[in-house]
Amino acid sequence: MENAERKKRIFSAIQPTGTPTLGNYLGALRNWVAMQDEFECVYATANLHAITVRQDPAAFRKAQTELYALLLACGIDTEKSIFFHQSMVYTHAELAWVLSCYTQFGELSRMTQFKDKSAKHADNVNAGLFTYPSLMAGDILLYKADMVPVGADQKQHLELSRDIANRFNNLYGDTFVVPEPYIPKIGARVMNLQDPEKKMSKSDTNAKSYILMTDTPDQIIKKFRSAVTDSEACVRYAEGKAGINNLMEIYSACTGKSFEQIEQEFEGKGYGDFKTAVGEAVVAVLAPIQEKFRQYMGDKAFLETCARENAEKALAISSRTMAKVYKKVGLLRY
C-alpha cells in the first residue's frame, strides 16, 4: 500500500574521530535509532569532515570501520535507513565545491567552531577547516532532508546551510529543500564526570572524565565511582549539584526512571551506592551493544558489502540532486 503522506526525511552524520562516548550515545545516537520508524533516515560517517584536522591514515581507516560497526550494533537498520561513508559517495565533494561558491567569506568567518578549531590547531588552519560548513550543507541538501537533528554545537552550521539553500533557490528557482532543525523528544545532555560544568568529551586529557562506548564494565564502574559529586550526601536534583544532577540524568536516561523515582530509590543511601547503581545501569545499556559490535567486527566482508550497497543507494539519490544543480548553474555535464 502506498503511504498517503510521505515520511519526512532526516539527515545526520558523525565524524569518525575516535570512539563515541556515552554522551554521544545518550544525546544523539540513541535518537538516530529511535527516529528510524517515524522518518526516512539517511546517516553517514562524516569522514571527509574529519580530514580537516590531521589523521593518521591507519588509525583513521580503523576508526571508520569501527564507527560503522558500532552504529549498526546500536540498531541502525539498513533495511529501514541508508547508512554510508561520506567518502564513498562522490557527490558530497562535488556539491561542496559548488556550494562553496555560494557561501560568503564573512559567513564562514563568523562560525564559532572555525574560530575554536583554528585556535586549537594553529599550525594547520587549512581551507577545508574554513569551508567545512559548505560540505555539511551539501550533505544535507543532496538528500532533500526535511530535518536535521542538531545539538548546540552544530546549530550555527545548520543555520548557514539554510541560508545557502535559500540563496541558491532565490537565484535559480526551487532546487533545495530548506532543512529545519529537529529537536528530539528525548535527549540527555551528559556532562564531564570530573568537571560536571563541562560537556563530556573524548578529547579531554583525563580519561576518567568520559565513558567510551567500548569501555569494559570494570572501567565503567570505576569511572563512575570516581565521579566528582558534592558534600551534601543526598541524591536529589538541585541547583549547585552539577555532579549529582549529571549522574541522575544518566541514570534516568538508562533506566527510564524519573528524577522523583530516583530520589526515592536512594533516600537515606550514600553516594557510593548511587554511583555504583549508575555504573551498572550504563553497563546494562552498553554491554549488549558491545556484544553486537564484536560480532560485526568479526565479519569484515559483511561490513564492506553493507557499506558499498548503502553508498550505491545514497549515490542514486544524490546524483539526481547533483544533476539538477549543474543544470541550474549552467555547468556542462555529459
Binding to ligand TRP (CB under 6 A): which residues in 84-113? none
User: In this structure, which amino acid lies at residue 104?
Assistant: Q
The DSSP output letter for 197 is T
12 binds ligand TRP (CB under 6 A): yes
Which residues lie across from 12 on neighbouring strands? Answer: 43
Segment interacting with ligand TRP (CB under 6 A) among 12-20, 102-110, 219-227, 289-297: 12-20
Q: What is the dihedral of CA 21, 69, 155, 208, to 10 degrees?
A: 10
| Beta carbon of residue 325, minimum distance to ligand TRP (angstroms, whole number) | 17
- Exactly one of 8, 80, 202, 292 is catalytic; which is it? 202
Considering the complex, state which of residue 15 and residue 91 has its C-beta at the smaller distance from ligand TRP. 15
Element (H, E) at 330: none
7 is known as an active-site residue: no
Contact 297, 66 (CB under 8 A): yes
11 binds ligand TRP (CB under 6 A): yes
CA distance 69 to 294: 8
Element (H, E) at 193: none
Binding to ligand TRP (CB under 6 A): which residues in 160-179? none
140 binds ligand TRP (CB under 6 A): yes
Binding to ligand TRP (CB under 6 A): which residues in 209-238? none
136 binds ligand TRP (CB under 6 A): yes
Considering the complex, state which of residue 28 and residue 242 has its C-beta at the smaller distance from ligand TRP. 28
Which residue of 154, 229, 255, 321 would you call a contact of ligand TRP, by CB under 6 A?
Answer: 154
Cα–Cα distances (Å) from 220 to 20, 60, 249, in that order, read 14, 25, 16
Contact 27, 184 (CB under 8 A): no
Considering the complex, state which of residue 14 and residue 254 has its C-beta at the smaller distance from ligand TRP. 14
Contact 132, 138 (CB under 8 A): no
User: Would you give the distance in Å from CA 39 to the centre of its chain?
Assistant: 17
| Beta carbon of residue 13, minimum distance to ligand TRP (angstroms, whole number) | 4
Binding to ligand TRP (CB under 6 A): which residues in 32-71? 46, 49
| Beta carbon of residue 116, minimum distance to ligand TRP (angstroms, whole number) | 12
Cα–Cα distances (Å) from 165 to 172, 182, 309, in that order, read 11, 17, 29
Which residue of 10, 41, 99, 148 would you call a contact of ligand TRP, by CB under 6 A?
Answer: 148
199 is known as an active-site residue: yes
15 binds ligand TRP (CB under 6 A): yes
208 is known as an active-site residue: no
Alpha carbons within 13 angstroms on the beta-carbon side of residue 138 total 29
Q: What is the dihedral of CA 10, 11, 16, 22, to 10 degrees?
A: -30
Considering the complex, state which of residue 43 and residue 271 has its C-beta at the smaller distance from ligand TRP. 43
Cell numbers placing 267: 533516600
| Beta carbon of residue 7, minimum distance to ligand TRP (angstroms, whole number) | 18
Considering the complex, state which of residue 17 and residue 194 has its C-beta at the smaller distance from ligand TRP. 17
Sheet holding 147-149, edge to edge: 82-85, 40-45, 9-14, 147-149, 180-182
Considering the complex, state which of residue 114 and residue 271 has its C-beta at the smaller distance from ligand TRP. 114
Positions annotated as catalytic residues are 117, 199, 202
Residues lying near ligand TRP in the complex (CB under 6 A) are found at 11-15, 46, 49, 136, 139-140, 148, 154
